[in-house]
Structure 1
Amino acid sequence: MATFFTEFITWETDSEPGSDITLFVRHSGAFFRICYVAGLLAESTALLEQHRESYTILSNDNPDGFVEEVERLRKPFEDFMAQLVPNPPMDTAGYLHSYLYPPYFILEAKGTASGDLQPHFREALSRQKFDPPGEYTDGASKLQIHLRPLLDMKFDTCSSRQVKVQTYTDHLVPSQVCVNGAVYFFKPWPSRQAFSYHQLDVCAKMLADTEPARISCVHSLVIDNDDDVLQHYSIDPNDDEEICVGTRLVGLLLTYIENKGTLSALAPWSDCTNEDRSRWARQVRQSVEHLHRAGIVWGDAKPENVLIDIQGDTWLIDFGGSYTQGWVDKENQETVEGDLQGLQRIENWLVKCSQRPVDRRT
């Protein structure tokens, strides 16, 4: 697992080359915002020119060199970030609360006349500037109406302090978690956007459906209280901005599927048999038919949304709606017709995999 992981990077697309570049990085339980600002590099002609070159590489549609450039921009800050993390660092196998609400530091790149780049600490975020994950479940949120159908269901709830993280992805995101001895998959709830009504409808129908099926279902909601969440962030006495408080939905606990990988990752290889592919096609069709009998639409039918468990059986995942071009046509998204179209294309793709397998993996 990576020690440093750059979650995303932004730049000012409407500005001339040489405008601001910002990296968002996780390391040892802390979150860092690294700011490259042209004005702070102006002391060095060489650094300013390199900054312009970085902007050109990142804003170019050609992905060649993108990853390498992101790593180059992060590298000068790695030792500095290691000095700023909590001492001792947060337990990377700790609770979900530590992942969702890490210490948050803002760093800047400054240039010197000698051409050196110096990492600089600007500030640690205060309560007024911290943007907690998830979405308010009460009147504080303009989007709260989208949550009401989900919150009215009879799901169990827990706080992130009760959710023990057992494994992380390579991107340092919690995946396998445990609550009271039960194992789940954690799916974050998105911030600042209304989650799909399609997902809410699916949650309700899955809850009422008692027929066994290999489908990733919602088991519990992770809801936190801001008074507890924000206790780690100091109040800036010079900032008059109102502090919102309330409860926030920060994630879902879904069926955990111990798996070998997705259908898209496994089916093309020559060490997968044609019998496997035929069985997977049959199982996916049976699962889709089961969904439709229960009044549920899968919504984004494609091989990437089929997991193969360790017994070699298929599970359908990702019921957030939408569609993927090439598998479901836009006009059929989130419909039974779209599911059937995607299902037929998955079956056709599996037949092609059987006819033209690639070389065996090493």
Structure 2
Amino acid sequence: MPWESPDSFCMLDLLASDHAIEYAFMYNGTRFHIFTSAEKLLGAGNLLQDFNKFLSHLDDPDIMFQFEEWVLAPLDDFMRKVAPSQGGGTRKPITLLDYFAPPTYAFTIVNKAGTLFAVQEDYNAQIHGDSSPRTRISDSLSDSGPTAHELAGDANLDGYNMPSQDFVCRSSLPPVRHILASELERVDDGLSDEQMSDVPRKVRRVGTDDVFFFKAGSKDHGHLREMELLSQINRSGNFSSPFQTSTLVGIVVWDDSKTSLMGFLLEYIEGETLASRMDGASMETKKKWVRQVESTLKRLHEVDIIWGDVKADNVMINKNGDAVLIDFGGGYTPAYIKQELQQTVQGDLIGLDHIKVALGLTDGI
């Protein structure tokens, strides 16, 4: 929890308008949806002024931390009662279904005689929104309903955010196995108590030794882009060793609807990121890694694929000491390239130059 607690806490979603905030988070394996607005905080005291200060500076990490402490304080006792610490003893295995469909509580924070007060409501995904990743798999574009953009445009923070849902045509999905969310459990190797509310990444198929890296669906549709590009890489037949990228091996679907995509599975890479390994590596090893990244990036461009967010954090060094390009979900790093250069060959090459600088292989860009 953000206020000096050893318990586990993970922010799931934050939506803000010019007068309201919706905040979803996981606390000790239990999900909470919080809503408050200027209207709800009218009255005695300085609560409205405090709220407006937070609202205008939520992009500041320190202000965001203060907002969490402020808005969650009236829930403290309730949260500790319904979601006690999971630390100590043997941990119960958590499946992806357990994580994304947990006990969920909803509250509106109001001004009661100058004090923040939490009003509990019956949680309803159609009213309060659903932070779980769901992408509807439709048989054709004609039955896909409104677009994700249209749904997002209907969001109404005067009350609550309407749940958004993406759509993907079944025929565009890659030809990989579909696995139920209940059949995949988090691999609990070295995770601290504080990490237990984080989205599971390393997962195992229940009853087997098959281990994967899980990526959940995202509101920016990055998961759809990444699945398509990894499928394109596989279809090209041009990426056998020494050209190495992430490998798509499966799709995760919801148990209650096999036509709802939760995320996808990648081949698990044992190793660390280039960003983690660079400081202790020799100059010759750094040169080898850059050659591998450069040659794989060149091959990507030859088949008209843009890597996207090119940086040392998105290169894995596997157990054989080779560089593997990961994260094809789009996006960019503002410190590396201008926004207008994202998803361009030029942007990729500038990102590569930044990697070289970080490794000490060039003086600057």
Does residue 314 of the first structure (1) align with residue 323 of the second (2)?
A: yes
After TM superposition, list the pairs within 5 Å mapping 1:31-110 onto structure 2: 31-42=31-42, 45-46=44-45, 49-60=46-57, 62-85=60-83, 93-110=93-110
One of 206, 211, 219 as aligned partner of 2:240: 211
Cα distance between partner residues in 1 of 2:224 and 2:209: 30
CA displacement, residues 306-359 of structure 1 (integer Å, 9 cap, x when unaligned): 12345543221111234444545656544545434432342244226x879xxx
Q: Which amino acid aligns with 1:73?
A: V
Cα 1:335–1:118 change in 2 (3 A) is closer
Cα 1:296–1:58 change in 2 (3 A) is same
Residue aligned with 1:301, SS: coil
Cα 1:3–1:219 change in 2 (3 A) is same
| Equivalent in the alignment of 1:236 | none
User: How many angstroms does 1:278 deviate by?
Assistant: 2.1
Q: Which amino acid aligns with 2:323?
A: T
After TM superposition, list the pairs within 5 Å mapping 1:259-298 onto structure 2: 259-260=271-272, 262-267=273-278, 269=279, 271-292=280-301, 296-298=305-307
Cα distance between partner residues in 1 of 2:281 and 2:270: 19
Q: Which amino acid aligns with 2:233?
A: K
Q: Which amino acid aligns with 1:219?
A: V
Cα distance between partner residues in 2 of 1:64 and 1:38: 21
Cα distance between partner residues in 2 of 1:254 and 1:207: 16
One of 177, 180, 200 as aligned partner of 1:156: 177
| Equivalent in the alignment of 1:237 | none
Cα 1:125–1:192 change in 2 (3 A) is farther
Residue aligned with 1:214, SS: coil
| Equivalent in the alignment of 2:159 | none
Larger Rg: 1
User: How many angstroms does 1:83 deviate by?
Assistant: 2.7
Asked if 1 retains the 8 angstrom alpha-carbon contact of 2:275 and 2:313, the reply is: yes
One of 197, 210, 220 as aligned partner of 1:182: 210
User: How many angstroms does 1:66 deviate by?
Assistant: 2.8
Cα distance between partner residues in 1 of 2:244 and 2:220: 31
CA displacement, residues 47-77 of structure 1 (integer Å, 9 cap, x when unaligned): xx13422331341265443323323322331
Give the fraction of aligned pairs with identical amino acids, expressed as a percent: 26
Asked if 1 retains the 8 angstrom alpha-carbon contact of 2:136 and 2:167, the reply is: no
| Equivalent in the alignment of 1:247 | 259
User: How many angstroms does 1:165 deviate by?
Assistant: 1.4
Q: Which runs of 5+ in 1 are unaligned?
A: 230-245, 357-362
Asked if 2 retains the 8 angstrom alpha-carbon contact of 1:205 and 1:295, the reply is: no
Aligned residues, how many? Answer: 323
CA displacement, residues 197-248 of structure 1 (integer Å, 9 cap, x when unaligned): 57514423325536134321111011225xx26xxxxxxxxxxxxxxxx711
